[in-house]
């Protein structure tokens, strides 16, 4: 296990992860374009909202602006027409004309009427000199001019344009909020739908690819690691497709948008803000480099922990038999602490990075607030513009910090993607032809011609093995453990690829046939029977809709499985748990016989099929074997010689070679390997 974990830590996907991940977006191009358009709409609306607020502030604060008497004015006060003007440059003199100026003092409004341009400018500029103003009854003296106290009705008339502007801005703001909300909802729904569709595709692809891999892959990869790839790692990609991609696009657009608007408002303040950007960029690059490796380690640790759990839950009976619960708990604690330490490193990186960005953002805001405040005091910047700018500054750093936070999820997703693509890139050494030969009706003739086979390198398990099994013939392979008996059965189904020689079915090399046709013609009954969660009926049918309930019952009756099935409370609908824990070993084996017979294979392979069965159950199976083997080529591997004595031919294996062959009596007369095995079992 330690060796496997060490090797996994060194594994790193060599391809371009981003490029490959974006390939999954191609079938959803239209939806993604729609999402991007919605993002642009939302971004524009978010940029526009502070401007509306700024305009409202300037409208409220702008009561100081003077009114000019004119015949085409839109305001009528005391029978005189006037209109409000906006002073854009306070340093310049007022244009020639007759003015009225309104000032606010001691929570009251005062109107200075019929002033010339110079006088109006003097009164207007005195608005900040409250200490120099004097009140005489209902008259305000400012800059040497007198202003009368305004009534509430006059104030309403004079500020009607401001009220109208505020109402208009409020309506616009409400419309913007509604549009923003609708666009957000549409974008989120489209994005989630697209993301989940992609995750569904990836999950299916990984599962199907794992099913297509040869047994060698499962010999070298723990179940827990494979489960992690299909579940945890695929789920880690979900947030990337449903959030990160669009959020990265949105935040990028926001950053550019805020930058452009701030430059348009005040170039000097914008440049002050941008001066902090290189520091943030350096921090981001450092974070990305350090965090990428940390997230890889965390994904490896999660995979290792899942592998440990899978092995120990599957072997729980053995752990309890040997009373190793405490030791296993201590080992689990050590592994979880290892994962905990790795995750703490990950959190530490984020804990340092996020506050650092936040500190820079606040420092920038403080410096800019000071400079902008000075501009307001000197009259070169309005309060509304100050609000808009500070709002944009805060908003400018928010998407930068959001991008920084997204790196956490992104790095996690990329680490998972590397693991997933490593599995998807696992090549199947069993290469099938594009246009395989069709056997049609399988007769069941099997030939091995000078076959050499090794699981690893040149450590050959089979050495120059040759034999022929005629259609309908019953053949058995016997020999000591490791002699190569089970390997022959695996090679017939092409679960492994041979190094030398040929294997033929009905005279056709199995390399010219499709594995689907080969395995469809072979029915296997193994020593360890796997029972799936479901019921008796589904475990015989195995998702083949072509096998109806009548066929299931006929198969069960033929192998005497009905003897125990009919005694179950729900008979064929009786629920069974994973691995058939509620069934005895004999019942599971009878179930596997019924399963094999239901598929009606032309070639029957039995690998120690009666090894774990009691004498009574074995008698039931022996009674059913004649029915099961009738008209089928049958290959048996057994340690119990009593189960294969009636075979047409028995091959005796020793160290990967066929040492003897013949019938039971012929082999006994040879006084060789077979007779020694027979005499050992008789004792």
The band of 567, judged by pLDDT with boundaries at 50, 70 and 90, is confident
Which two tokens mark 154?
């006059």
Q: Please determine, for residue 9, whether its predicted confidence score (pLDDT) is greater than 60.
A: no
- The arithmetic mean of pLDDT across residues 482-505, rounded, is 86
Residue 630 lies in a domain: no
pLDDT score for 621: 67
CA-to-CA distance for 606 and 610, rounded, in angstroms? 9
Q: Which residues pair with 100 in a beta bridge?
A: 67
Q: What is the pLDDT of residues 525-551, one digit of tens each?
A: 777 777 787 888 888 888 777 788 888
CA-to-CA distance for 414 and 484, rounded, in angstroms? 43
Q: Please determine, for residue 151, whether its predicted confidence score (pLDDT) is greater than 60.
A: yes
Residue 401 lies in a domain: yes
Residue 9 lies in a domain: yes
Q: Which residue has the higher pLDDT, 251 or 620?
A: 251
Length, in residues, of the chain: 683
pLDDT score for 31: 84
pLDDT score for 8: 46
CA-to-CA distance for 222 and 304, rounded, in angstroms? 9
Q: Please determine, for residue 62, whether its predicted confidence score (pLDDT) is greater than 50.
A: yes
DSSP track, 513-568: S-HHHHHHTEEEEESS----SEEHHHHHHTT-TTS-HHHHHHHHHHTTTHHHHTTS
**CATH number of the domain within which 243 lies:** 1.20.1560.10
CA-to-CA distance for 561 and 247, rounded, in angstroms? 59
CA-to-CA distance for 305 and 299, rounded, in angstroms? 10
pLDDT score for 113: 92
Mean pLDDT over each residue of the chain, to the nearest integer: 79
Which of 180-184, 350-354, 361-365, 629-633 shows the lowest per-residue confidence on average (mean pLDDT)?
350-354
The answer to whether 648 and 658 are in contact (CB under 8 A) is: no
Residue 391 lies in a domain: yes
pLDDT score for 53: 77
The band of 11, judged by pLDDT with boundaries at 50, 70 and 90, is very low
Q: What is the pLDDT of residues 367-413, one digit of tens each?
A: 877 777 777 666 666 666 777 777 777 777 777 777 766 766 777 77
DSSP 8-state class, residue 505 = E
The band of 611, judged by pLDDT with boundaries at 50, 70 and 90, is low
Q: Please determine, for residue 638, whether its predicted confidence score (pLDDT) is greater than 80.
A: no
Q: Which residue has the higher pLDDT, 495 or 54?
A: 495
Residue 548 lies in a domain: no
Could you tell me the residue range of the domain that residue 384 belongs to?
Answer: 2-56+166-424
Burial of 535 (0-12, 13-18, 19+ CB in 10 A): middle
The band of 290, judged by pLDDT with boundaries at 50, 70 and 90, is confident
DSSP, collapsed to helix, strand or coil, labels residue 106 as: coil
pLDDT score for 219: 73
Number of domains in the chain: 1
Residue 99 lies in a domain: no
Q: Please determine, for residue 293, whether its predicted confidence score (pLDDT) is greater than 50.
A: yes
Q: Given its phi and psi angles, is residue 444 left (phi above 0), alpha (psi -120 to 50 degrees) or beta?
A: left
CA-to-CA distance for 260 and 267, rounded, in angstroms? 10
Nearest to 629 by CA among 652, 607, 650, 606: 606
User: What are the backbone angles phi and psi of residue 112, rounded to the nearest 5°?
Assistant: -100, 115
Contacts of 144 by beta carbon, 8 Å cutoff, 6+ apart: 122
pLDDT score for 683: 58
Q: Residue 282 CB: number of other CB atoms within 10 A?
A: 10
Residue 418 lies in a domain: yes
Could you tell me what percent of the chain has a pLDDT over 90? 4
pLDDT score for 390: 75
- The arithmetic mean of pLDDT across residues 596-614, rounded, is 75
Q: Which 3-state string (H, E, C) describes 6-19?
A: HHHHHCCCCCCHHH
pLDDT score for 594: 83
384 alpha-carbon distance from chain centroid: 45
DSSP 8-state class, residue 95 = P
Q: Residue 679 CB: number of other CB atoms within 10 A?
A: 10
CA-to-CA distance for 225 and 429, rounded, in angstroms? 21
The band of 155, judged by pLDDT with boundaries at 50, 70 and 90, is confident
Q: Please determine, for residue 307, whether its predicted confidence score (pLDDT) is greater than 70.
A: yes
CA-to-CA distance for 651 and 473, rounded, in angstroms? 13
- The arithmetic mean of pLDDT across residues 418-434, rounded, is 80
The band of 137, judged by pLDDT with boundaries at 50, 70 and 90, is confident
């Amino acid at each position: 296990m330690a060796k496997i974990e060490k090797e996994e830590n060194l594994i790193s996907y060599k391809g371009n992860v981003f490029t490959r991940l974006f390939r999954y977006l191609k079938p959803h191009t239209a939806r993604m374009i729609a999402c991007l358009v919605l993002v642009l709409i939302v971004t524009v609306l978010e940029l526009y909202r502070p401007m509306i607020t700024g305009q409202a502030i300037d409208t409220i604060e702008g009561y100081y602006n003077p009114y000019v008497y004119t015949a085409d004015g839109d305001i009528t006060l005391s029978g005189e027409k006037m209109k409000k003007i906006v002073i854009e440059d306070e340093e310049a003199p007022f244009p020639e004309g007759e003015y009225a100026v309104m000032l606010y003092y001691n929570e009251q409004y005062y109107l200075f009427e019929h002033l010339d341009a110079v006088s109006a400018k003097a009164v207007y500029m005195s608005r900040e000199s409250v200490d120099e103003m004097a009140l005489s009854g209902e008259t305000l003296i400012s800059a040497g001019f007198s202003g009368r106290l305004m009534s509430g009705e006059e104030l309403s008339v004079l500020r009607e344009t401001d009220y109208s502007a505020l109402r208009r801005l409020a309506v616009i703001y409400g419309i913007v909020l509604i549009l923003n909300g609708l666009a957000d909802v549409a974008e989120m729904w489209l994005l989630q739908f697209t993301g989940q569709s992609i995750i569904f595709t990836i999950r299916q692809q990984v599962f199907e690819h794992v099913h297509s891999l040869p047994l060698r892959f499962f010999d070298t990869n723990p179940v827990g690691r494979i489960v992690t790839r299909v579940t945890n790692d695929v789920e880690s990609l979900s947030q990337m497709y449903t959030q990160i991609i669009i959020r990265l696009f949105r935040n990028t657009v926001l950053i550019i948008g805020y930058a452009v608007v701030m430059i348009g408002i005040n170039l000097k303040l914008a440049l002050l803000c941008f001066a902090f950007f290189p520091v943030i960029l350096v921090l981001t690059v450092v974070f990305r480099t350090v965090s990428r490796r940390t997230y890889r380690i965390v994904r490896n640790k999660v995979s290792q922990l899942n592998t440990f759990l899978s092995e120990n839950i599957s072997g729980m009976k053995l752990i309890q038999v040997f009373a190793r619960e405490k030791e296993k708990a201590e080992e689990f604690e050590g592994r979880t602490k290892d994962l905990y330490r790795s995750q703490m490193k990950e959190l530490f990186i984020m804990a340092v990075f996020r506050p650092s960005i936040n500190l820079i953002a606040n420092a920038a805001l403080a410096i800019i607030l000071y400079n902008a405040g000075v501009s307001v005091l000197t009259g070169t910047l309005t309060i509304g513009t100050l609000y808009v700018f500070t709002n944009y500054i805060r908003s400018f750093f928010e998407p930068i910090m959001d991008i920084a936070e997204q790196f956490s999820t992104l790095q996690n997703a990329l680490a998972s993607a590397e693991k997933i693509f490593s599995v998807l890139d696992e090549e199947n050494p069993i290469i099938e032809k594009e246009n395989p030969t069709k056997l049609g009706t399988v007769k069941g003739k099997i030939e091995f011609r000078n076959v050499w086979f090794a699981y690893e390198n040149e450590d050959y398990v089979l050495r120059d093995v040759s034999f022929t099994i005629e259609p309908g013939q019953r053949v058995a392979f016997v020999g000591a453990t490791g002699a190569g008996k089970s390997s022959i059965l695996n090679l017939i189904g092409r679960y492994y690829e041979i190094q030398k020689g040929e294997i033929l079915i009905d005279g056709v090399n199995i390399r010219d046939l499709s594995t689907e046709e080969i395995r469809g013609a072979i029915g296997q009954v193994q020593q360890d029977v796997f029972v799936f969660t479901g019921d008796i009926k589904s475990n015989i049918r195995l998702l083949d809709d072509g096998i109806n309930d009548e066929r299931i019952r006929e198969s069960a009756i033929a192998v005497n499985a009905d003897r125990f099935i009919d005694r179950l409370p729900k008979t064929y609908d009786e629920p069974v748990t994973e691995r058939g824990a509620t069934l005895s070993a004999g019942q599971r084996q009878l179930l596997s016989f019924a399963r094999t017979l239901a598929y009606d294979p032309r070639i029957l392979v039995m690998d120690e099929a009666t090894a774990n069965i009691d004498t009574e159950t074995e008698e039931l199976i022996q009674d059913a074997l004649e029915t099961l083997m009738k008209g089928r080529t049958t290959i048996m591997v057994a340690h119990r010689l009593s189960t294969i004595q009636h075979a047409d031919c028995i091959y005796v294996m020793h160290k990967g070679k066929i040492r003897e062959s013949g019938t039971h009596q012929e082999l006994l007369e040879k006084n060789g390997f077979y007779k020694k095995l027979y005499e050992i079992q008789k004792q």
